[in-house]
Amino acid sequence: MRLGIDVGGTFTDLVLIDDHDKRIHYTKTLTTPRNPADGVLTGIEKILNLAGANMAQVDYIAHGTTIGTNALIERKGARVGLITTEGFRDVLEIARIERPDAGLYDINVDLPEPLVPRYLRLEVAERIGADGTVVRPLEAASARRAVERLRAEGVEAIAICLLFSFRNPAHEHALAELCQALCPEAPVSLSCRVAPEFREFERTSTTVLNAYLLPITRRYLDSLSARLAEKYGPVDLRIMQTSGGALTAEAGRQRAVNMVNSGPAGGALATALFGRLTGDDKVVGVDMGGTSFDVGLIVDGRPRVKAEGEFEGYPVKMPMIDVEGIGAGGGSLAWVDAGGALNVGPESAGADPGPACYGRGGLRPAVTDANLVLGRLNPDYFLGAEMELQVAAARQAIAQHVAGPLGLSVEAAAAGIVRVVNANMVRAISANSTQKGYDLREFSLLAFGGAGPLHAVELAQELGMRRVIVPPFCSVFSALGAVASDLRHDYVATVALPQNRATPSVLTAAFNRMEGEARRQLAAEHVPPDRVVIERSADLRYEGQSYELSVPVRKAGRQLTKAEVAGTISGFHQLHGRIYAYGQPSEPVEFVSVRLAAIGKAPELRLPAQRAVRGRPLPKSERPVYFPAQDGFMVTRVYQREALRAGQACRGPCLIEEATSTIVVPPGCAGSVDAYGNLVIEVGARRARSMPRQLRSASNGRRTARQRRAVAQPG
């Protein structure tokens, strides 16, 4: 058996796969924000009881955690000191001398504050040259002064980032030994290990982020491992990475930055898996949970992986699955700004107190409250009847905070909340697809997360997409992706070679050095050689460009051939043409870095195919449900998803309920169950309807000048 866990802002999801009888068990439990390990242990006990299993039968646990993400969002990381080369103290503040895109023409928009204040950024006398030679030896007295100063300031972690240490890490290693001797209680993050590649600002930012999160993630992993061992004995705990692979818990103790946004990465892996099952190699995966809405594209059957990105405005130089998120979930709060416009999110009610309908003390309306008032959620069957939703509380919250201020009925206000959050999600999908050169008409929309299937078809209608897939286990999809993930270690080496010097022998030597280290690492983690897969890529750019694109490097034999190098260059030209609408095959390129992913393959997740049955399914009930295309309520059939069989179809309007999610099929659409339990919905065109004047400015993303001046955050 294998157990996958994904800790979200509202719920902790668990999936248990029995590889012997091919059964999959799943459940949810409320997240415990003060100590996420409490919710994890509660969920483990719950799912083991559900499956009639014990921990001795579980080979390993794959855990996606938000502990680092939350610490970064809330700025509750460790007190960090930075040691850098003399003259480079202010790299974090100088950055790229750019403002965020949203503030390009706004003089009041600034970059986020550096995570290390200037008085904790110290210089040491040393210098490594661009070729790795020692230009100036590390001055021992300078190094000792810096470490002793940080110790006196009470730092909880130390980041070390010296110039060109990716060429020669000797000085960083010497400083790490000194820190261990003088300040052993503070964990050290070295740039030569965290981000050993070109670009000083991004490398420093990534190293500092790792140091900022390391004490927190270590405490969590140590506490969780100890509690698991105390209750169940030795447990193989693996931690999801943002790259889409897993790390052992021991490796995770050194790589805190790799765990940020690991939950969405699991969802992208599961999206690719189910895309292959349905025969779709182009899929937009959308995950709407309690707090956030994440978008990831699957192209050619694989998630897109980028070589760098950012977390909360801080650049990160490491491989990560390209998933973009916004604050739009079932717990996202609705509010009316001082200009009279309705807004939804990004603030969330979270798990505590949660939406008003949870009855846990929440007084402000959330998206879940709106869906409940509109009849889309069954108050007596939330979480499979484990939690009863309070309709009166939801109506009261919407009446007080939205309907009253806007002069609307409670139902019209609830419909407006759904309309606005849908508009926010449509923009997020477009930003991660259409704006990157993809035609959404070629893609299917795969919806997951507890709230995703409630909104999926309406999103597809807005975007002109014709097909929606709602997979089984959709509400715990990221946990399913985590349990199906492989062990993965990523390596990089900066080569900085023009095309005429990037010979097969030079590139092969760089790849082979990384591959040797990678195979030793996987062997130490007991991965059999026949389960090891090596993937190579390279970062290329046209000579004179400032940024590069990552393309695969195909290598059939022990040595790269001229044809394989030429194929890599050709792949770069094609990728550049697709993303930027032009490519110049006649122009010379530069190889900036080469990358290697070492993968220890997990057992393949296999779902048994079901035989199609004849006959129409029988609804379990009917109830009034609001549909915006009809601008009112309609008597709507309700089906139980577990009762649907392969080959059966449901015509809209209808709802399909399962224990942890609800699928809305609007009028004019039809869904059918395929052999693997996916509900495949053919999307009909949506009839446009006008909406109240009070809602228009927020839903189309524009405000009047008066509203722009008066916008205030909810209080």
Note the pLDDT tens digit of each residue in 62-119: 998 878 887 887 788 999 999 999 999 999 998 887 666 655 667 777 778 999 999 9
Number of compact structural domains in the chain: 3
Please check whether residues 81 and 182 belong to one and the same domain: yes
571: confidence class by pLDDT, cuts 50, 70, 90: very high
Question: What HEC string does 59-73 produce?
Answer: CEEEEECCHHHHHHH
Which is higher by pLDDT, 652 or 426? 426
- Tokens at 105, concatenated: 């023409």
pLDDT exceeds 80 at position 709: no
Please check whether residues 10 and 44 belong to one and the same domain: yes
Please check whether residues 245 and 228 belong to one and the same domain: yes
Per-residue confidence (pLDDT) for residue 197, from 0 to 100 = 92
Please check whether residues 63 and 94 belong to one and the same domain: no
The packing angle between helices 200-232 and 36-51, to 10°, is: 50
Please check whether residues 152 and 50 belong to one and the same domain: no
Q: Using the 3D structure, point to which of 217, 239, 268 is the last residue of a domain.
A: 217
Please check whether residues 213 and 235 belong to one and the same domain: no
b/e per residue 189-201 (b: at least 16 CB within 10 A): bbbbbbbbbbbbb
CATH number at residue 531: 3.30.1490
Per-residue confidence (pLDDT) for residue 214, from 0 to 100 = 95
pLDDT exceeds 70 at position 645: yes
Sign, CA torsion 82/170/306/271: negative
CB 153 within 8 A of CB 81: yes
Using CB atoms within 10 Å of the CB of residue 489, give its burial: 0 to 12 exposed, 13 to 18 middle, 19+ buried: buried
Torsion of CA 44, 10, 293, 658, to 10 degrees: 60
Specify if 643 maps to a domain.
no
Specify if 448 maps to a domain.
no
Please check whether residues 96 and 213 belong to one and the same domain: yes
pLDDT exceeds 60 at position 357: yes
Residue 133: give the domain boundaries: 76-217
For 379-387, the CB contacts below 8 A with 24+ separation are 381/657, 381/659, 383/28, 383/659, 383/660, 384/659, 384/660, 387/358
Per-residue pLDDT reduced to its tens digit, 150-208 = 999 999 999 999 999 999 999 999 999 999 999 999 999 999 999 999 899 999 999 99
Q: Using the 3D structure, point to which of 600, 634, 660 is the last residue of a domain.
A: 600
Per-residue confidence (pLDDT) for residue 103, from 0 to 100 = 57
Please check whether residues 142 and 122 belong to one and the same domain: yes
Per-residue confidence (pLDDT) for residue 115, from 0 to 100 = 95
pLDDT exceeds 90 at position 433: no
Q: Using the 3D structure, point to which of 568, 600, 632 is the last residue of a domain.
A: 600
Please check whether residues 251 and 211 belong to one and the same domain: no
Which is higher by pLDDT, 456 or 697? 456
Specify if 535 maps to a domain.
yes
- Tokens at 665, concatenated: 């099929």
Q: Which residues contact 86 (CB under 8 A, 6 or more apart)?
A: 123, 124, 125, 126, 127, 142
Per-residue pLDDT reduced to its tens digit, 244-287 = 899 999 998 999 999 988 888 889 999 999 998 888 889 999 99
CATH number at residue 20: 3.30.420.40
Please check whether residues 83 and 210 belong to one and the same domain: yes
Specify if 578 maps to a domain.
yes
Specify if 30 maps to a domain.
yes
| pLDDT, the chain, mean | 89
- Tokens at 248, concatenated: 């052992």
Please check whether residues 127 and 243 belong to one and the same domain: no
- Tokens at 713, concatenated: 């955050």
Specify if 266 maps to a domain.
no
Please check whether residues 85 and 193 belong to one and the same domain: yes
Per-residue confidence (pLDDT) for residue 22, from 0 to 100 = 82
Place of tokens 């095959």: 585
pLDDT exceeds 50 at position 702: no
Which is higher by pLDDT, 593 or 109? 593
Specify if 165 maps to a domain.
yes
Place of tokens 């130490």: 524
Specify if 667 maps to a domain.
no
